[in-house]
Structure 1
Amino acid sequence: MGRGPRSCEGSPTVCLFVLFNVCLSYPQGVVLKQPQEPKELWGYVQVRSKAHMFWWLYYANNPTKDFTELPLIMWLQGGPGASGCGFGNFEEIGPLDKEMKPRNTTWLQAASILFVDNPVGTGFSYVDDCSLFAKNLTTVVSDMMVFLRDFFTHRTEFQTIPFYIFSESYGGKMAAGIALALHEAVQKGSIKCNFVGTALGDSWISPLDSVLSWGPYLYSTSLLDDHGLAEVTAVAKEIMDAINKNQYGLATELWSKAEGVIEENTDNVNFYNIMTKEVPEMKANEQENLHLSKSYLIRLYQRHVKNMHKNSLNELMNGPIRKKLKIIPDCVKWGGQSTKVFENMAEDFMRPVIDIVDQLLAANVNVTVYNGQLDLIVDTMGQEAWIRKLKWPSLDQFSQQRWKALYVSPESTETAAFHKAYENFAFFWILKAGHMVPSDQGEMALKMVRMVTQQKH
């Protein structure tokens, strides 16, 4: 017998009643009047029966340009189960940080930003029935197509504005699939928007290439000795064998094992930035509350989703932000279903999507890859490895290009990044950044956005 709806957060009946009544009063969210703050909207879209996706839109806030003169960027967080409306917004690129202070490097200077909590169950998004969580990329993509069709139908002012999908981590894997489906929908005329391209940041495009590069990367940065390198290489080969046999669930389990081997050999290196140290500690009551059916999933969730739901952000989202938004159903807690999101995607987690990137390039969609130098979980070596596997006819010409050094400003003498581009493919090597590039190198990330969206500085 399947799991019933009441195993999900709260009561579905109450959720639907509250949402229906509140949304009558706030059909498209609330427009803020303060002149110092960017115009913003938010709301829910029902992407399937009993599956609700939350979105939050900020109009570009540039002193010299109207939002109609700047692009629209949709930001997708990773996890899966991490909230773009929460983490991406308040920790990375939104107008305010989690202390509610203005962010000097907000991307609103260069674009309007659309944050979406996806897959359903992430952040303020929710499902009324636990059978409705996405289990694979196909469902994630189909849900997002419903959302985007609804968004561009109701927000006609954005239909002709250049639209980009920027992403981070597992969000990049989702962005690739969404970008291809959106391109096809635009071609068919089923979604009216000016889709230009996608940017894949520290993205989980080819899990195996990332895993196989962990040992060499850590060894080259003096974080593994010969003995440790041998141990990490051995478990990486186990993962490769599982993937080669299409045993993706087993590969996810072995991936957790590999991270454990790395932690033991590196004195708990931070997977998101090798220059910082953060020892994760799971309290007994937290472990009881996770409700994950397999112990390795508990460890993975703790490392890769719980990390983006820390207490300070959790308190902000479930406190002041919830009060401001006014449309969050009483039974929905920010991040309350994220464990289920992660657990349901476990079987799909280690599947590569290199072929989708190839299809995007063949369709002449602009593809940008950007990566932080200090990231381990999706290190740059692994990104370069899957790029070499592309079947894109112009790959050789791209590879032959010499990269160019980038600086955050003409006055700066410190190299901030390297950049290479050919036709509709580009790569940014972001120096001194970990997995969350905009958090670590905000100025360079903003410069990159302007370059990707072809804006003059």
Structure 2
Amino acid sequence: MAQFAELFTLLSLFSVLVSKGSSSPPPAKEQWDYVEVRPGAHIFWWLYYADSYQDLPLILWLQGGPGGSGSGFGNFEEIGPLNRDLEPRKTSWVQAASVLFVDNPVGTGFSYAERPDGFATNVSTVASDMLVLLQKFFAQIPELQSNPFYIFSESYGGKMAAAISLELNKAIAQGSVKCNFAGVALGDSWISPLDSVMTWGPYLYATSLLDDSGLKDLTSAAEDVKEAVQQQQFLKATELWSVAETVVEQNTNGVNFYNILTQQPDEKTASFAGGNFISLQAHRHIRPLHKQSLSELMNGPIRKKLGIIPQNVTWGGQAEEVFSNMAGDFMRPVVDIVDQLLAAGVNVTVYNGQLDLIVDTLGQELWVKKLKWEGLPSFTQMRWTPLDDPASPGVTGAFYKTYKNFAFYWILKAGHMIPSDQGPMALQMLKMITQQD
């Protein structure tokens, strides 16, 4: 049975808020539960209701990795009502929408697989699992069936969001899922992995983070990835992608893949002695989403608050297995799925951070230009429109352009995690996409 709670009745969290002198009230209503999407495969979800949820959209947030937890990182580090220190977040998306965090694929965050074959190995399984969850979610909470429902995503979550959106659109037409699907937003998303890898060199070189020798080394490594992708050797391509990242680190003295203005937050992973490339990539890209302080919060007071986490399940404990099982699908592009969404009339938004490296804007623009969507020529000819930064009136915070059912937002001074880097701008973008401004 789903768990309901008034956050102010949960003494374990309220005492922290009081001790920090918070004057802002916590969200009025939450709900969480598990869904068994396949035998032995359990996905955890956590819903925050907006104050006037009857009049506001519902947002599904999908984290990256694969193996990064939305209930943890997305919630407490990016868009949830409280930050990691359990202080109210001024730019929480719960101000403008009810927000549903889902720990997917199976094994992510508090989600878990009871046996090895419970993990997903491709985005098709991820999408079918999510359809089971959404079907049960909307049946369980019918008051949200008519709210405009958007899927927002980040990083690898965008690849999953595209696949999920396509299957959801079909399921709604068939009547198997009851919801008011209004669109999908792909944030710094792993839609065309090769386009990202092939533009790392030019991007880093143009920003004076590579010299000529470094550019040569990275170009060679990227060409190896390209050859593997072209030969449909996707597991090999994932391994070579890991090699290319090591080349980046060695030639930039450890530039941060999530924001080029910073260095890796901990020890250089180029010297990581964790064994195979799966462990290395988990160290690079999942560990930052599962910081020790966040892990302590999730496995301590949050676990106690939720009250439904099985005793043998640790938040984030299966994250590396999630990535390992998806490694053979990791480098597959899903540009064709975006094309199908556009052709079906689904509203699609792409948004990207100016300072992101792992999914750099150059690469995003490349795959967008490859779309077969009939509106692309008109979209391409359009000039973008500047947006003021809400935190600094008169200063440009972003550019955007939109044509028919496709939009692109370029978010300035932001890296991979846009809501963390530019919270006010991200919140304004959310309102624009959901037609609240």
Q: TM-score range by the shorter chain?
A: over 0.9
State the alpha-carbon separation in 1 of the partners of residues 81 and 359 from structure 2: 27
d(CA) in 2 for partners of 1:392, 1:171:
22
- CA separation in 2, counterparts of 1:394 and 1:119? 33
Report the CA distance between 1:338 and its aligned residue.
Answer: 0.6
Pair 1:371-2:352 in alignment: yes
Aligned residue identity for 1:179: S
- How does the TM-score come out when normalised to structure 1? 0.90
> Secondary structure of the residue that 1:435 maps to in structure 2?
coil
Cα displacement (A) at 1:372: 0.3
Name the counterpart of 2:407.
426
* CA–CA separation in structure 2 for the residues paired with 1:278 and 1:306: 12
In the alignment, is residue 296 of structure 1 matched against residue 277 of structure 2? yes
In the TM superposition, residue 278 of structure 1 has moved relative to its aligned partner by 2.1
Alignment partner for residue 37 of structure 1, among 18, 21, 26?
26
Q: Deviations over 1:209-260 (max 9, x none)?
A: 0000000000000001111111111111111111000000110000000001
From 192, 195, 201, the counterpart of 1:215: 201
Cα displacement string for residues 386-412 of structure 1 (whole angstroms, at most 9, x for unaligned residues) = 000000011000011110100133970
Q: Pick from 127, 137, 149: which aligns with 1:151?
A: 137
Q: Which residue of 2 aligns with 1:206?
A: 192
- Secondary structure of the residue aligned to 1:166 is strand
Please, what is the CA RMSD of the aligned residues? 1.4
Tell me, yes or no, if structure 1 residue 341 matches structure 2 residue 322: yes
Query: Match of 2:417, as an amino acid?
Result: M
Confirm or deny: 8 A CA contact 1:404 1:418 kept in the other structure. Answer: yes
Whole-Å separation in 1 of the counterparts to 2:391 and 2:246 = 44
User: Does structure 1 retain, via aligned residues, the 8 Å contact 2:391–2:424?
Assistant: no
Please state how far the C-alpha of 1:30 moved relative to its aligned partner: 2.2
2:256 partner letter: N
Secondary structure of the corresponding residue to residue 208 of structure 2: coil
CA distance change for structure 1 residues 304 and 57 in 2, over 3 Å: closer, same or farther? same
**Residue pair 1:282, 1:302 contacting (<8 A) in 2 also:** no
Using the alignment, how far apart are the partners of 1:114 and 1:40 within structure 2? 10
Deviates further, 324-333 or 29-38:
29-38
User: Are the structure 2 counterparts of residues 277 and 33 from structure 1 closer, same or farther at C-alpha, using a change threshold of 3 Å?
Assistant: closer
Query: Deviation of residue 33 (structure 1)?
Result: 6.1
CA separation in 2, counterparts of 1:407 and 1:385? 26
In 2, Cα distance between equivalents of 1:94 and 1:225? 40
Q: Deviations over 1:143-168 (max 9, x none)?
A: 00000000000100110000000000
Residue identity opposite 1:52 in structure 2: H
Q: Which residue of 2 aligns with 1:98?
A: 84
Alignment counterpart, residue 53 of structure 1, candidates 40, 43, 47: 43
Deviation at 1:32, TM superposition (A): 1.2
Which residue is 1:134 aligned to?
A: 120
Provide the C-alpha distance between the structure 1 equivalents of 2:8 and 2:205, rounded to a whole number of angstroms. Answer: 52
Give the structure 1 partner of residue 15 of structure 2.
Answer: none
Q: Which sits farther off after the overlay, 274-283 or 34-43? A: 274-283
The one-letter code matched in structure 2 to 1:58 is Y
Partner Cα distance (2:264, 2:217) in 1: 22
Contact 2:278–2:320 (8 Å) recurs in 1: no
Unaligned runs of 5+ in 2: 10-24
CA–CA distance in 2 between the matches of 1:74 and 1:33? 21
Taking the aligned partners of 2:326 and 2:220, their CA distance within structure 1 comes to 26
Q: What aligned pairs does 1:218-237 form with structure 2 within 5 A after superposition?
A: 218-237=204-223
Residue 276 of structure 1: how far off its partner (Å):
1.2
Q: Which residue of 2 aligns with 1:327?
A: 308
| CA–CA separation in structure 1 for the residues paired with 2:226 and 2:347 | 30
Tell me the matched-pair count: 419
Structure 1 residue 307: deviation in Å? 1.1
Of 251, 257, 262, 2:243 maps to 257
Structure 1 382/411 Cα, relative in aligned 2: closer, same or farther at 3 Å? Answer: closer
- Alignment match of 1:385 (pick from 341, 353, 366): 366
Matched, 1:315 2:289: no
| Cα distance in 2, alignment partners of residues 282 and 336 from structure 1 | 23
Give the direction of change, closer, same or farther, for the CA distance of 1:410–1:314 in structure 2 (3 Å limit).
Answer: closer
Q: Provide the residue aligned with 1:117 in structure 2.
A: 103
Query: How far is the alpha carbon of 1:297 from its aligned partner?
Result: 1.2
TM-score by length of structure 2 reads 0.94
Report the structure, 1 or 2, having the larger strand content. 2
**Secondary structure at the counterpart of residue 30 of structure 1:** strand
Q: Report the secondary structure of 2:149's partner residue.
A: strand
Tell me what 2:14 maps to: none
SS in 2 for 1:134: coil
| Rounded Cα–Cα distance in structure 2 between residues aligned with 1:91 and 1:56 | 15
SS in 2 for 1:54: strand
One-letter code of the match for 2:194? Answer: L
> Sequence identity, in percent?
62
SS of alignment partner, residue 114 of structure 1: strand
Asked if the contact 1:30–1:325 (Cα under 8 Å) also holds between the matched residues in 2, the reply is: no
Q: Hey, what does 1:268 align to over in structure 2?
A: 254
| Whole-angstrom CA distance in 2 between matches of 1:33 and 1:236 | 49
CA apart distance, 1:85: 0.2
Q: Distance in 1 between matches of 2:391 and 2:119?
A: 48
Partners of 1:268 and 1:279 within 8 A in 2: no
